[in-house]
């Protein structure tokens, strides 16, 4: 008889994982985001791990440019990402 792990009715654990392979630091930021979302963003749709990874990557790229290296459009986008990601 097949074990429960082989049952077609039970989803495999790896089937629920994101396609994105996150670094431990990014994964920690995602967990922090989820905790802040539970407190501050109850009326907002939570980002998937894939969506978070893309937004987090863009946020880090814009932050790395510094204030002097960003134009007005990039500065506005950084502020929007700060709001979405619940960052100061």
Note whether residue 75 is domain-resident.
yes
pLDDT of 42 strictly over 70: yes
48 and 71 Cβ atoms separated by less than 8 Å? no
Does residue 51 belong to any structural domain of this protein? yes
pTM for the full model? 0.73
Range of the domain at 78: 44-88
The tens digit of pLDDT for each residue in 48-67 reads 999 999 999 999 999 999 99
Per-residue pLDDT at 19: 56
Torsion on CA atoms 48, 49, 55, 57, rounded to nearest 10: -170
H helix intervals, 45-85: 49-69, 72-84
Mean pLDDT computed over 17-39? 86
Q: Look at the chain and report how many structural domains it folds into.
A: 1
Above 60 in pLDDT, residue 21? yes
């Amino acid at each position: 008889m097949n074990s429960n792990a082989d049952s077609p009715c039970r989803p495999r654990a790896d089937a629920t994982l994101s396609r994105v392979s996150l670094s431990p630091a990014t994964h920690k930021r995602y967990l922090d985001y989820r905790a802040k979302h539970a407190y501050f963003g109850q009326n907002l749709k939570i980002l998937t791990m894939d969506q978070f990874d893309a937004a987090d990557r863009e946020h880090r790229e814009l932050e790395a440019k510094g204030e002097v290296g960003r134009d007005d459009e990039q500065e506005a986008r950084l502020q929007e990402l700060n709001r979405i990601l619940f960052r100061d």
